Amino acid sequence: MKKITIIGAGPGGYSAGLRASQLGAKVSIIEKNLPGGTCLNRGCIPSKIMHQTASVLNNFKKADELGINFDKKASPCMEKIIKRKNLIIKNQTMGLLNLFKNNNIEIITGNAEIKKNNCVCVHLPDNTQKKIIHDSLIIAAGSKPITLIEENKSYDKILTSDEIFDIKKIPKSIIIIGGGVIGCEFAFIFQAFGSNVTIIEATNKLLPTDFIDRDCAELLKREMKKKKIEVLLNTKVDSIKQNTNTVFINITPNNNNSDKKCGKKESLSSDMALICIGRYPDTKNLNLENTGININSKGWIIADQYLKTNIDNIFAVGDILGPEKIMLAHKAIQEGRIAASNAMGEKNKMDYNTVPYGIFSMPEAAGVGITTQIAEKQQIETTIYNMPVRAIAKSHISGSISGFAKIITHKKNGTILGIHITGPHATELIAEGVISIKTKLTIKELAESIHNHPTISEILWDTANKIYTD
């Protein structure tokens, strides 16, 4: 029986373990914290729990518009939100542990250190050690948030995404440093909770990455303006500190700041600050430097399309591959399954072209395939079809009319190359986009695929049918 050791029990690690066990391997998973990794404990799941509460609050605000008399004011209770969050995470953790048990997967709590001769040494909580011999190793160690705080200091009002989910009360004001996906999601959440929100972003745009379509980013920026979320672009943080009750942040405009509205302020203060400026590889004590595994200049592990490192029997999946491979839980799950299959002798490739992104903002944004800016950089000849969400009857029924759908096609043959949606249920609808690109669907074939009426999904059907009018 082949022995496979996995470092990390997050989405990449547990999916790899389950697939390897199903294929007949003896599997050991080493996890230094809790099963589920960042996603379950400090990321995807708790943030979407808060997003759900924020969405309900926003619906209460629309009660009169929807024909409901609502005399009392709806308000969030952080204590109840945290209690619900902890219960959901506990139930999900128990589900994972049961999966491990039912698939005969050994889960070991401790810190992993990779040794030579196909050995991993686990430093256990009781200060003893356990050595595990493997035929193949899958590294799914994950990442940690970058902070602006010195390592030997801690504050209760200057937080990263690791700490924000356990705050005791909702701040009257919050400054979010970083306008990426995490920063944008929390901006909408805290605005719905009643906080005054400011975002500070060092670059000249929100969501500054090519894998998110620029039109989605621009629409979310406009929605922030409607909700009075202040956005400071081209602005860098010089210093951050706190006293008993207040956070103080000194800022200056970047040298390339061409927006006269941005960067004017020299100092800001708030009740809380959330730092969302990126992540770094969680490889401390793994002993990577002595294993011969290739890493890049920032410490991310380098793996090929089969998820294999330069060491023949060592694979890597998930966040540990860095932002160039998109740091998303569902991407890690697929990588884990492929790495495990390949460790068992198969030869499967990871398809990064069909990895969707999802932003749980208000409205949501999601996409898959090439973006407008990628098409321009690669000089791909495209035809682009757009449709506003307000053109769909269901958007008016639900009271959510902000957003659009964009379908990017190859100009010559009409093959769908990218789909991007901003609006209600965008993160659910994008699954249709993944299938469209995976199957190399054409715009004509999508236009001829009947969708339910009235539904938000009609936005893709109607957008595709513009082929006959444009």
Residue 164 has φ and ψ, to the nearest 5°, of -65, -25
Count of C-beta atoms within a 10 Å radius of residue 399 = 12
453 is catalytic: yes
Tally the C-alpha atoms within 13 A of residue 231's C-alpha that lie toward its C-beta. Answer: 24
- Angle among Cα 278, 284, 290 to the nearest 5 degrees reads 125
Residue 31 has φ and ψ, to the nearest 5°, of -135, 125
In SS3 terms, the chain reads as CCEEEEECCCHHHHHHHHHHHHCCCEEEEEECCCCCHHHHHHCHHHHHHHHHHHHHHHHHHCCCCCCCCCCCCCCCCHHHHHHHHHHHHHHHHHHHHHHHHHCCCEEEECEEEEECCCEEEEECCCCCEEEEECCEEEECCCEEECCCCCCCCCCCCEEECCCHHHCCCCCCEEEEECCCHHHHHHHHHHHHHCCEEEEECCCCCCCCCCCCCHHHHHHHHHHHHHCCCEEECCEEEEEEEECCCCEEEEEEECCCCCCCCCCCCCEEEECEEEECCCEEECCCCCCHHHCCCCECCCCCECCCCCCECCCCCEEECHHHHCHHHCCCHHHHHHHHHHHHHHHCCCCCCCCHHHCCEEECCCCEEEEEECCHHHHHHCCCCEEEEEEEHHHCHHHHHHCCCCCEEEEEEECCCCEEEEEEEEECCHHHHHHHHHHHHHCCCEHHHHHCCCCCCCCCCHHHHHHHHHHHCC
CB 183 within 8 A of CB 198: no
Q: Per the residue annotation, which of 123, 330, 396, 453 is the catalytic one?
A: 453
Q: Which residues are catalytic?
A: 453
